[in-house]
Amino acid sequence: MINIKKQEEVFFKVLMIMSLIIIMSILFLIIGTIIYKGLPALNWDMLSKLPGGGFYLGKEGGVLNAIVGSIYLIIGSLAISLCLSVPLVLYINFYLPKKSIFASIIRFSFDILFGVPSIVYGAFGFALMIFLGIRASLLGGIIAVALLIMPIMMRSFDEVVRILPRDLPDALLSLGATKFEMIKVILRQVMPGLVTAILLAVGRGIGDAATVLFTAGYTDNIPTALSQPAATLPLSIFFQLGSPVEEVQNRAYASALILTVLILFLSLSARYFSSRYSKNKI
Amino acid sequence: MNNLNVVSVRKNLQDDYNGTLLRKIAVSNAISIKDLNVYIEDNHILKDINLTIPEKSITCIIGPSGCGKSTLLKTLNRMHDETPEVKIFGQVFVDDENIYDQNVNVIDIRKKMGLLAQRPCPLPMSIFDNVAYGPRIHGLKKRKAINQTVIQYLQYVGLWDEVRGRVRTSASRLSIGQQQRLCLARGLAIEPEYILGDEATSSLDPISTRKIEEMFLKLKEKYTVILVTHTLRQAKRIADYIIFMYMGKVIESGSTEEFFNNPVKQLTKDYLSGSFS
């Protein structure tokens, strides 16, 4: 009997370690390939210059247009989806009854939206743009990406707010706080969860090519207005990979490296600010 | 003022519709509950509660688990407002005002009732801000006044000397017993008139429990204290009045001495002898 329990214990421990090894090695393989192929092609020109004529055929230039475009795009779409999903989550958790059917329907629909492929958001965004009479532009891209990342942000933030112990809202209300005053304090408590939600959303949004393909367009310049088209790193990688020239293909890896470092930088800074803001978390 | 002189314990034996005997305690300027019925969804949780709670004393609500003690306590600061499936019928008079009246501001009611919960729940802020939170949301702005209030109530609960050097650090680093006293200070800082305790010592160690009990004894000089407890010994130690509930009804209520020495109802006798709990 004891022997069986011991074997069971060993078996599942080995299983967990195995999956850890597999996942970590895949991850390192991907990052390793990007660094191995991209690092030699990475130079200051890549970061600081716009693609010149014939960039995709191996001539000089950089991907500054795509870096800036991606940053603009993610800031815009993050702002839109934050402004919409945070109030929604707070409403369904603190204003609707605990067993509200309406809240369940909202959660269920967001779960479905979560699984919708990004090309569908792109197509929907495109249809919406035609309806509104907007051409492929930064604004169109921002709207489409905002739609894409909203379900991720909403559902992951919602999960954090849902598991919040009932004690805290009760303590605040019994002190005579209004619901809004209560929410302001609760936001401090769930801040790390909100940051995680933002990071997941940014990760998905900044790396997605299909949504921006029709909506943001592509350009070799940096957009100066919302109505202008914008380049993005994923699309830039896509076009460079499609080039027959090997040098350009290597530049695609360099661009991927830039994208990865960008996400890493965003992650670390978000974690830093979140830990500073919620140092009194209970 | 001596409590016992003010409170004239009138044993008003009265039949309710089930034939249950209720001992009513009549005093001025306290809480009186009239024909209170509470339903959660379709369950009848509190049945025809008629009670008077004397001022500036400790009243303990006792009874087995699930008898409706906490539900009764929550009706006093209208915390049921937050759960729409709870339906409340009847009247609860606090200082001669029915708190379930249409035009009563729920914030004012809650400000009047300091609640001490079962588990301490400090706010995600520093020790200082925890105590300052209540006064701040109720309009205290001057830094000096806030400082004074915080120090005053931290001293009152005996926490000041323990936290003096670290009032700006997180409240979550305090021990559970200290957290509970902090929560008490936080509740007192909004200057309530009533203190409600919902099994406020059940998660504490014996030493912290004793400290909180001593606090309650000190508090009854200024406040009306209403405690839910499931330890009979605690009720015996600190209560002036006892309300015994069973299955959503008040079975017996009266002064502690009388309740423990001469219980009237058979159910009370059984409960006190430990036949059920």
Contact (Cβ atoms closer than 8 angstroms) between residue A281 and residue A168? no
B90 vs B33: CA distance, rounded Å:
8
Considering only CB atoms, A280 lies closest to which of B77, B126, B183, namely: B126
CB contact under 8 A, A175 and B187: yes
- Which candidate, B222, A224, A215, places its Cα nearest to that of A234? A215
User: What are the tens digits of pLDDT across the range A172-225?
Assistant: 999 999 999 999 999 988 988 898 899 989 989 998 999 998 899 888 889 998
What gap in Å lies between CA B214 and CA B157, rounded to an integer? 10
The answer to whether A74 touches A206, Cβ cutoff 8 Å, is yes
Question: Do the Cβ atoms of A175 and B110 come within 8 Å?
Answer: yes
The predicted structure's pLDDT at residue A267: 85
User: E strand or H helix at B21, and its extent?
Assistant: strand B21-24
Question: What residues does B246 pair with on adjacent strands?
Answer: B249
- Calculate how close chain A gets to B112, using CA atoms only, in Å: 9
In angstroms, the separation between the Cα of residue A282 and the nearest Cα of chain B is 5
pLDDT of residue A259: 92
Tell me, yes or no, if A185 comes closer than 8 A to chain B by beta carbon.
yes
* pLDDT at residue B26, as a whole number: 40
pLDDT score of B4 more than 70: no
Q: Which residue has the tokens 């931290």?
A: B154
Asked whether the beta carbons of residue B190 and residue A175 sit closer than 8 angstroms, the reply is yes
Q: What is the mean pLDDT of chain B?
A: 85
Q: What is the largest CA-CA distance in chain B?
A: 59
E strand residue ranges, B190-248 = 194-198, 224-228, 241-246
Contact A175 B134 (CB under 8 A): yes
Q: What's the mean pLDDT in B144-166?
A: 92
Report pLDDT for B2. 38
pLDDT attached to residue B277 = 66
pLDDT at A47: 86
Interval B191-237: pLDDT, tens: 999 999 999 888 889 998 998 999 899 999 989 999 999 888 899 99
Which of A98, A176, A189 is opposite residue B107, by nearest beta carbon? A176
Closest partner residue to B117 among A97, A170, A279, by Cβ?
Answer: A170
Considering only CB atoms, B171 lies closest to which of A165, A173, A280, namely: A280
* pLDDT tens digits for range B34-50: 999 999 988 999 999 99
Nearest CA in chain B to A166: B121
- DSSP per-residue string spanning A37-59: HHHHH--HHHHH----TTGGGT-
Low-confidence ranges of chain A (pLDDT < 50): none
The two tokens of residue A74 are 């993610």
A55-277: CATH number: 1.10.3720.10
pLDDT at A49: 85
Question: B12-37: per-residue pLDDT in tens?
Answer: 333 333 333 333 344 445 799 999 99
Domains of chain B: 3-272 (3.40.50.300)
Mean pLDDT lowest among A86-90, B28-32, B106-110, B145-149 = B28-32
Question: Would you call B117 and A174 a contact, using CB atoms and an 8 Å cutoff?
Answer: yes
B7 confidence band (pLDDT: 50, 70, 90)? very low
Residues 6+ apart with CB under 8 A from B119: A167, B203
Average pLDDT over residues B71-84: 90
For residues A155 and A196, is the Cβ–Cβ distance under 8 A?
Answer: no
More confident residue, B9 or A192: A192
* Residue in this structure with the two tokens 């509950």, named with its chain if needed: B33
Residue A280 and residue B172: Cβ atoms within 8 Å? yes
Backbone angles phi, psi at A29, to 5 degrees: -60, -45
Q: Beta-carbon neighbour count of residue A105 at 10 Å?
A: 11
Tokens 């034996």 belong to residue: B13
Contact state of A178 with B107 under an 8 Å Cβ cutoff = yes
